[in-house]
Amino acid sequence: MCAGQQPRGLLPSAANVLMSGRRSNEGLHLALTVIGALVALLAFGLVLSIAPELARAPQATLTPGGIPVGRYREVPNTVFTNHDGKPMSLVNLRGRPVLMLFGYTYCPDVCPMGLADLRRIKRALGDRGDEVAFVFVSVDPERDAPEVLRRYVKAFDPSFIGFTTTDMAALRKFVYAFDGLFEKQPPSSDNPNVYTVAHTSFTYLLDREGRWVMKYPFGTPYEVILADLQRLLDEPVGAAN
Ligand SMILES: [Cu+2]
């Protein structure tokens, strides 16, 4: 189950709603609808509050729909284990814009939909698709071993990259740096391996220099992200300095 971005203080109560709603599908759906509405309101409010800044920013030509971040935020150089079991960080992807998602391979809904959109974007880019790095960062390292991640991300596209780490503190720091959250939910049965992880469902766009440029709420049409990405690809290297 995937909750959207919530202010930090709200997540535990949202998680409680989800947990108590698990007894009946109706309650669950209501909870998800309420969370969806909150996310939409929050995203709309953020867009409104940032709009004047967007008009002055160098990336003002980016398509409305995403939320500009401003390219000044520090992005941690956290070293993950990639889908091949090798150390890798965002630093290794410099030179290419990055589209990134947080999620987990057992996710029933949001992650498969988000990755399917990344595949649409990759295909729409044609040959230029290879100039972009598509990264899926696991928030469920317990189950998402590199081999599991590899099978999962490669099923969407052979070029997709999976990141995982057993260092939970480092993972939290990384996700928090993107204003993200994740929270493992209690198992729904006696089997401790059957559980969901509530997590932020934004798609993140980084430029060639590894600077965080935009974030897109879940459900943003992939064409919006594609258009921003194409503009980034057309930027001369170092243009946004
Ligand atoms: Cu998910």
- For each of the domains in the chain, give its residue range(s) and CATH number, in order of start: 8-234 (3.40.30.10)
Give the distance (Å) from ligand 1 centre to CA of residue 36: 14
Give the distance (Å) from ligand 1 centre to CA of residue 105: 8
What is the Cα gyration radius of the chain?
A: 18
Instruction: Give the residue ranges of DSSP H helices in 157-213.
Output: 168-177
Give the distance (Å) from ligand 1 centre to CA of residue 96: 25
pTM: 0.74
Give the distance (Å) from ligand 1 centre to CA of residue 231: 28
Give the distance (Å) from ligand 1 centre to CA of residue 67: 20
Give the distance (Å) from ligand 1 centre to CA of residue 79: 22
| Contact of 98 with 135, CB cutoff 8 Å | yes
Provide the pLDDT for residue 66: 85
pLDDT digits (tens, 9 = 90+) for 56-115: 334 444 445 788 887 777 789 999 999 999 999 999 999 999 999 999 999 999 999 999
In 13-128, DSSP assigns E strands to 67-68, 80-82, 87-88, 98-103
- Which pair of structure tokens corresponds to residue 195? 């559980």
pLDDT digits (tens, 9 = 90+) for 107-140: 999 999 999 999 999 999 999 999 999 999 999 9
Provide the pLDDT for residue 70: 79
Residues, CB within 5 angstroms of ligand 1 (ion): 2, 103, 107, 110-111
The mean-pLDDT minimum among 11-20, 65-74, 77-86, 193-202 falls in 11-20
The CA dihedral of 184, 18, 107, 210, to the nearest 10 degrees, is -70
